Structure 1
Amino acid sequence: MQKTSSRLLSLLSLLQTRRGWSGEDLAERLGITPRTVRRDIDRLRELGYPITAAKGPAGGYRLDAGGHLPPLLFDDGQAVALAVALQTAATGTTIAEDAARALTVIRQVMPSRLRHRMDMLRVTAVRPPESGDASQVDTQVFTDLSTAIHSREELRFDYAQDRNAAAEQQRRRVQPHHLVTWSGRWYLLAWDLDRDDWRTFRVDRIHPRPPTGPRFTPRELPGGDVPAFITSRFRGSDGTTTDWPCRGEVVLDLPATAVAPFAEDGIVEELGPDRCRLALGSWSWTGLAATIGRFDADIEVIGPPELNAAFAHLATRYANAARTTTAP
C-alpha cells in the first residue's frame, strides 16, 4: 500500500482526470478499501480541495471547479506539455506576453524536480517571414470572439481589407465558428450572413462592434473537419478536398536530392542520377508553372495541357519583360 502522502496525490490526480468517480472505482484503482477512500477524501477537503459527494448506493466523488485551490498537481508529462504550450502560445499576439508571465508564476509553485524539467525546455516560436510586421492581436478581441463562438451569437465588426487602410473598413455580420492559426496568423472562420458563404477573417484586422446579435444554430462545415476545410480554402479549393485545385507533373534535369528539399508537399521520383519526375500542386496553373520554373533546369511537361498553356503564357510575359527597356 502506498504511503498516505503519495496515495493522496494519486487520488487527487484521478479526481482531476474525469468528472466523477464512484468510491468503489477509486478504491479499486488505488488498491485500498472504500473506508480509506472516504478518509482520504476528508483529508483533501481539509487541504482546501472542493470535493463533493454524490448520493447513491455506491457513492461518488467529484472535484469541483472554483474557490481557492492549493497548488495544482502536475505529473512529468503534463509539466513538459505546459512549458512547451506556454512558450509557443499565440505567437504574434499580446496573449504571448501573458503566457510568458503565466509560465513564470506556475514555475514558482512546481516541485524542484519538475522546475528543473521545465527549465530544460527553452522553445522559441518563430513567426514565418511572410507574416511581416502584422499587427498584434489584442487580448480583448480574442475574448470577444471566443465568447461569441461559445455563446453561438452573431457578431458584427468592422474589417480592414488592408492593415494600412484603416479608413476603408467594411461592416461585416457573421455567425462565428472557430478561431484558427495558419502560417503564424490568427483567423476567424465564420459564416458570412451578407455573402451567404463561409469566410476567413484576419483577427488582427477585426474591430468588434458590441453588442452581439441573436443566437444561432451552428451550420455544418463542409467536410465536418476544421483543419481540412481551412487547408482547402487557403489552397484555393472549394472546401470539400484538401488537395490543390491545380496539380501537374514535369520532368526536371536535376537530381531528385536537389529537388526534394524545395518541393514542399510535392512528390519527387528519381529517374536517374541527373533527372527526376516532380508532381506538384498550386492554387493556379500560372502559379504552378512559376513555382516549377524556379528550378534552374530544363523542364519537360508531362501534363495536363493546362500546365503547358501556363508555361506558354509565362514565356510570352517573360519575353516581353526582356524586351522592355527602362529610361535612364
Structure 2
Amino acid sequence: MKKSERMNQMLRFINQKQQFTLQDLMQEFQISKRTALRDISSLEELGAPIYVEYGRYGGYRLLQHMQLPPISFNTGELHALYFAMQALRSFSSLPFQATFRTIHEKFMSALSDKQRQDIENIKHRVSFKHTEQIKDSKNLEFLLMAAVQNVVIQIEYQNGRTTEKDKSSRSSISTPRVRTIQPIALYAMKGYWYCQAYDLSKDAYRVFRCDRIISPEVTDIEPLAHIKELNLQDTHSLWEPSRHAIPFQCQIDEVGMELFQQEHFPSMKLEESKEQTYLVGSYEPHELDFIVRYLAGYGKSIQIVKPARLKDALRQYYLDLLNHI
C-alpha cells in the first residue's frame, strides 16, 4: 500500500476510534513500530489534532473529530467494486429496490476516462455467468430490516406442497399457513432468496423461501434474547430437525463433495468414517420429493446407504424420467 493511501485510511481509522495505541496502528495496517511512529508524525503535519498520553495505560487521543476528505478508490478497489456489482445483474428482487442499471450508471459516471476504459476492457475479457432469479421476492427489504432490528413478525407461508385438491394438476400451490418468526439473515442461492429465522410456531430454526412469504406484519411479541446476536453462519450450527425428521446417509465421492460445497442446506453435512466420506442429514416427511430431486442432482457421485425408502424413491424418480424419454 502506498504511503499516501495509508495516510488516508489511517485518518479515517483514528477519527473513528478517537483513542488508539501504536499497537493498534501496527496491527490494523501491518506496519512496524518505526513506521507507525513516522506515520503519526506525518498525520500531525497534515493537521491531525493528536494528543499523546504517557504512562502505563497511555497512547494517543484525537482531540476532536476531523473533517475528512472524500473517499477515493485505487485501481484495484475500483475493479473489485465492478466485479461485485455483477452479482446484482441476476436479481430482479433486491433489498431497498436497488437495481444494477442505476448503480452501474452512477459508478461509471464517477470514473475518469482512463478508469472507464479499463472497466470496458475488463468487460470484454471476462464473462459473468449467473443463475437467473427464478421468482420475485417482494418482501426482501421488510425481512432484512426485521432481522437487523431484531423484531418478531407474523407471515403467511406457502410451503409449495401440493394439496389433495391440486394433485390432478401440475400446480404446486398450497393454502398459506400463518407462522410467527424472528428473522436472522437473508441469503441468495440457485436463483432464490432464503430467510434464516427462528420459527416461534415450531420452536425451531427454519429456512423460508422469501418468494413464498406473504403479507408479513410486525408483532408486539418480545424477541428472543438468544437470537439477537446470531448471524447467518451461526444458524447452520443451530439447526435442529423435528422429532418426525428422517435421517439419511449417502456415500459420496470427490465429485459429489464439490457439488455439496456448491449447494447444501443446514440439515446436511459431510462426515468421514473408515476412509469413506458420507453425506448425512435429515429431512421432514413432507420433504421427500424435495430431497429426492436434490440427491438426483448428484448423479453417480453418491450412493444412498439409508433409509431404504429414500433409495426406492430415488430409483422411482429415475424410472419416471426414463418413461418421459
What TM-score results when the alignment is normalised by the length of structure 2?
0.57
From 127, 133, 154, the equivalent of 1:156 is: 154
Deviation, structure 1 residue 238:
3.6
Partner of 2:9: 13
- 1:123/1:149 CA distance change after superposition, 3 Å: farther
Matched, 1:87 2:86: yes
- Determine which of 134, 137, 143 is the counterpart of 1:145: 143
Question: Cα distance, 1:172 vs. partner?
Answer: 2.1
Task: Quickly say closer, same or farther: Cα 1:33–1:238, change in 2 above 3 A.
Answer: closer
Looking at structure 2, the residues matched to 116 and 63 of structure 1 have their Cα atoms a distance apart, in angstroms, of 41
Residues 199-245 of structure 1 deviation map (CA, whole Å, 9 limit, x = unaligned): 21111222354445345244369xx8845855997xxx849xxxx94
Q: Which residue of 2 aligns with 1:247?
A: 249
Q: What residue ranges of structure 2 are gaps of 5+ in the alignment?
A: 26-32, 54-58, 162-170, 262-269, 271-275
Residues 280, 148 of structure 1: CA spacing in aligned structure 2 closer, same or farther, 3 A cutoff? closer
- Structure 1 residue 292 displacement after superposition: 10
Look up the equivalent residue of 1:152 and give its one-letter code. Answer: N
- Alpha-carbon distance in structure 2 between the residues aligned to 1:211 and 1:321: 44
SS at match of 1:168: coil
CA shift in 2, pair 1:278/1:38, >3 Å: closer
The 1-side partners of 2:91 and 2:227 are apart by 30
| Aligned partner (choices 259, 274, 277) of residue 264 of structure 1 | 259
- AA in 1 matched with 2:91: G
Displacement of 1:190 after TM fit?
Answer: 1.0
**Residue aligning to 2:206:** 199
Shift of 1:321: 12
- Partner of residue 118, structure 1: 119
Note if contact 1:15-1:63 (Cα within 8 Å) is conserved in structure 2: no
Cα drift, residue 72 of structure 1: 2.6
1:218-276: per-residue Cα shift (whole Å, max 9, x none)?
A: 4369xx8845855997xxx849xxxx9433459xxxxx9xx958983499xxxxxxxxx
- C-alpha distance in 2 between matches for 1:102 and 1:13: 25
**Partner SS state of residue 219, structure 1:** helix
Instruction: Report the residue type matching 1:183 in the other structure.
Output: K
8 Å Cα contact 2:158/2:212 also seen in 1: yes
* 1:90-115, Cα deviation, whole Å (9 max, x unpaired): 84333386244223312322345544
Secondary structure at the aligned position of 2:259 is classed as: coil
After superposition, give the CA deviation of every residue in 1:102-160 in whole Å (9 maximum; x if it has no partner): 233123223455444433145535216xx6x42x223xx33222222122111122323
Task: Give the conservation status (yes or no) of the 8 Å contact 2:151–2:218.
Answer: no
1:64-75 maps to which residues of 2 (within 5 A)? Answer: 71-75=70-74
Corresponding letter in the other structure for 1:175: Q
**Alignment: residue pair count:** 269
User: CA separation in 1, counterparts of 2:278 and 2:108?
Assistant: 48
Q: Sequence identity of aligned pairs in percent? A: 14
Contact 2:51–2:63 under 8 Å retained in 1: no
Note if contact 2:205-2:238 (Cα within 8 Å) is conserved in structure 1.
no
Q: Distance in 1 between matches of 2:102 and 2:320?
A: 56
The 3 A distance-change label for structure 1 pair 31 and 305 is closer
Show the counterpart of 2:264: none
In 2, the alpha carbon distance for the partners of 1:293 and 1:22 equals 54
Instruction: State the alpha-carbon separation in 1 of the partners of residues 315 and 40 from structure 2.
Output: 81
Tell me the distance in 2 between the aligned counterparts of 1:168 and 1:127. 29
Post-superposition CA distance 1:282-302 (Å, at most 9, x none): 8679949x849965xxxxx8x
What is the CA distance between 1:180 and its match in structure 2?
1.9
Alignment of 1:78 onto 2:59:
no
Structure 1: runs of 5+ lacking an equivalent:
1-5, 43-52, 251-255, 268-276, 296-300
Q: Rg bigger for which structure? A: 1
Q: 1:197 to 1:14 in 2, by over 3 A?
A: same
Q: What's the CA shift for 1:82?
A: 1.3
**Aligned residue for 1:216?**
223
Contact between 1:188 and 1:201, CA under 8 Å: does it hold in 2? yes
| RMSD after superposition | 5.4
Specify the SS of the correspondent of 1:73.
coil
* 1:286-297 map, 5 Å: 287=292, 291=296
